[in-house]
Structure 1
Amino acid sequence: MSKVIEKVVIFGGTGQTGLCCIEQALKKGFKVTALVRDLSRLPDEVAPKINVINGNSTIKEDVAKALEGQDAVIVTLGTRNDLNFTTVMSDSLKLILDTMCETGVKTISACMSSFLFMDPERVPPRFAEINADHKRMLETLQSPKYESLDWIAVLPPHIADEPSSNNQFKVNHGSSPGRQIPKSDLGQFMVECLSQPEHYHQLCGLAYPTLQ
């Protein structure tokens, strides 16, 4: 049975994936909130359509303000082109999950990477530190502490700047079905999976099979 989602908050909304999630959530008629650290990164055409909170995902007060009154959460946190050691993504996710438990928000989709389907030694060395923090994110999400939450771990491969596949992309639980996913398809799934219980507590790989 599908869950009714009307209000969603997005953490990481100024990145490529986050902006696609905002677009897809608006298409579905959701009321969208975004916690944004740097307001200048939010496109002028997007800002008037959503509720924007200027804050930081590592600060509890900011996270609590963003979560107030929400039905669901989307996490698309990233480091842009910085591939150095970080715990910002995993620290932020833990804070978001803790605050969800406190405020009664139950549903979350969190974007990581399909590298998590691979043995760590096969991950290209330059992505090792980012992958390590994605692994910490996944371990946090899977913690028994948060088993009461309806979480979805979304593990995309390369995010392609390609047209939408018009719902032709494939979703696997526990493995990746391909090497690329159009960014709009990723945004679509990040939003739609929130109300699809078959994806709860699953590691979801997705790809457009003809984009290899």
Structure 2
Amino acid sequence: MSKVIEKVGIFGATGQTGLCCIEHALKKGVNVTALVRDLSRLPEDIAPKINVINGNSTIKEDVLKAVEGQDAIIVTLGTRHELGFTTVMSDSLKLILDTMCETGVKHISVCLSSFLFMDPERVPQRFAEINADHKRMLDILQSPKYESLDWVAVLPPHIANEPSSNNQFKVNHGSSPGRQIPKWDLGQFMVECLNEPEHHHQLCGLAFPTLP
């Protein structure tokens, strides 16, 4: 039986997906630790409810503080509006996974992009570099080195600023079921899938198909 998740560490906590993950985890009574580089980006109403670590996901000592003692990890790292070449997300994920292996943490969900379901030549050019680093992240996640971890790769389409669908969204393994997903649904799934073995070692596409 999969371990019940009571404590979770979140990387990328101040982005729209990360904040929705925090909100859902708190609703479930999960203790949240967030590694935050820029404390000013953490909403004042959320900060007192979680354990905040000021640090960087590329620094081993900071990552260790956020991983050690957790039941699971959620990764929603992004580049904000920077679309140029980067390896920050993939470098960070490798460091996080190595630290999980060292500390015995087994569960992780990682937010990537539904572009990974497409042929790279079909990805809009302006997203090519970000998609390339997402591909590096997926390759790292699927490496035999980490096969002992219960990982879930979450590949959402456009993340919509829409109300929750109240569990009406659809999840596919290996393909995308639609073109949009409300950010609240994505945050919910990133948390819930950690406790759902049917999603472990899967590339999960999700969407609320009735959105236009």
TM-score, normalisation: structure 1:
0.99
Separation in structure 2 between the aligned mates of residue 132 and residue 7 of structure 1, nearest angstrom = 31
Give the gaps of 5 or more residues in structure 1. Answer: none
SS at match of 1:26: helix
The corresponding residue for 1:47 is: 47
1:3/1:196 contact within 8 Å kept: no
Separation in structure 2 between the aligned mates of residue 141 and residue 66 of structure 1, nearest angstrom = 19
Kindly provide the amino acid, as one letter, of the partner of residue 155 in structure 1. L
Deviations 1:55-114 (A, max 9, x none): 000000000111121000000000011000000000000000000000000000000000
Distance apart, 1:211 and its partner CA: 1.0
The corresponding residue for 2:205 is: 205
Separation in structure 1 between the aligned mates of residue 33 and residue 79 of structure 2, nearest angstrom = 21
Q: Does 1:194 align with 2:191?
A: no
Separation in structure 1 between the aligned mates of residue 172 and residue 3 of structure 2, nearest angstrom = 21
Give the gaps of 5 or more residues in structure 2. Answer: none
SS at match of 2:133: helix
Kindly provide the amino acid, as one letter, of the partner of residue 87 in structure 2. T
SS at match of 1:24: helix
The corresponding residue for 2:171 is: 171
Separation in structure 2 between the aligned mates of residue 197 and residue 17 of structure 1, nearest angstrom = 22
Where do 4+ consecutive residues of structure 1 move more than 4 Å? none
The corresponding residue for 1:93 is: 93
Deviations 1:168-188 (A, max 9, x none): 000000000000000000000
- In percent, how many aligned pairs have the same letter? 87
The corresponding residue for 1:145 is: 145
The corresponding residue for 2:118 is: 118
Kindly provide the amino acid, as one letter, of the partner of residue 44 in structure 1. E
1:11/1:77 contact within 8 Å kept: yes
Separation in structure 2 between the aligned mates of residue 124 and residue 89 of structure 1, nearest angstrom = 20
Distance apart, 1:2 and its partner CA: 4.4
How many correspondences in the alignment? Answer: 212
Kindly provide the amino acid, as one letter, of the partner of residue 78 in structure 2. G
Kindly provide the amino acid, as one letter, of the partner of residue 138 in structure 1. L
Distance apart, 1:3 and its partner CA: 2.8
The corresponding residue for 1:81 is: 81
TM-score, normalisation: structure 2:
0.99
Kindly provide the amino acid, as one letter, of the partner of residue 177 in structure 1. P
Separation in structure 2 between the aligned mates of residue 185 and residue 28 of structure 1, nearest angstrom = 14
